[in-house]
Amino acid sequence: MKKDPFRLTPYQVQWLLIVGFVTLGYALYLRYLAIELSTVTLACDAGLQTYLCKARLLATYLFRNSVFGIVALIIAVLHVIRPSIVLLTAGLVAAGLGIVLYNVGLSGLAIGLLILGFARPAPATV
């Protein structure tokens, strides 16, 4: 019996495009308007308690510990083992955040594994 490779429907592709662009947009917003902008950095370091400062603090903690890249790599390995749209979406979000927020090595490897997941057969449906 021949198994077909994992394929996406047009609706799934549209979903991934929306999620990917929103993820990249938010990551770019955090990087260039919260982490690297000196006025925001000085205000947050002085003790300003806003949503932006809390998001900046969380993002810097996560990228310093390579959480984005590690999570993206774990999800990508799971996606290669058993491809699904849920794992692909989560991996895309984690890898997109990781690439923009300084975890390029592990996130780039995760993107490669996510692409490799399309060569695997789709899970059997009952």
Residue-wise pLDDT tens digits, 58-114: 999 999 999 999 999 999 999 999 889 999 999 999 999 999 999 999 999 999 999
d(CA 74, CA 89): 13
Question: In the 8-state DSSP scheme, what is residue 2?
Answer: P
Residue 119 pLDDT? 84
pLDDT band at 121 (very low <50, low <70, confident <90, very high): confident
For the record, the structure tokens of 126 come out as 């009952």
Per-residue tokens: 13: 């592709």
Report residue 29's pLDDT band, with 50, 70 and 90 as the boundaries: very high
Residue 72 is assigned to a structural domain of this protein = yes
What does the pLDDT look like over 66-77, one tens digit per residue? 999 999 999 999
- Output the CA–CA distances (angstroms, integers) from residue 14 to 10, 73, 100, in the order listed: 6, 23, 22
Please list the residues that pair with 122 across neighbouring strands: none
Domain residue limits at 23: 11-118
Q: Supply the pTM of this predicted model.
A: 0.88
CA-CA distance, 34 to 28, in Å (whole number)? Answer: 9
- Beta bridge partners, 5, equal 121
State the total domains in the chain. Answer: 1
SS3 6: coil
Specify if 52 maps to a domain: yes
> Does 66 map to a domain?
yes
Please provide the average confidence, as pLDDT, over all residues in the chain.
92
Is 126 a residue whose pLDDT tops 70?
A: no
Question: Can you tell me the distance from the alpha carbon of 66 to that of 105, in angstroms, rounded to the nearest whole number?
Answer: 10
Residue 67 lies in a domain: yes
Residue 125 lies in a domain: no
Residue 113 lies in a domain: yes
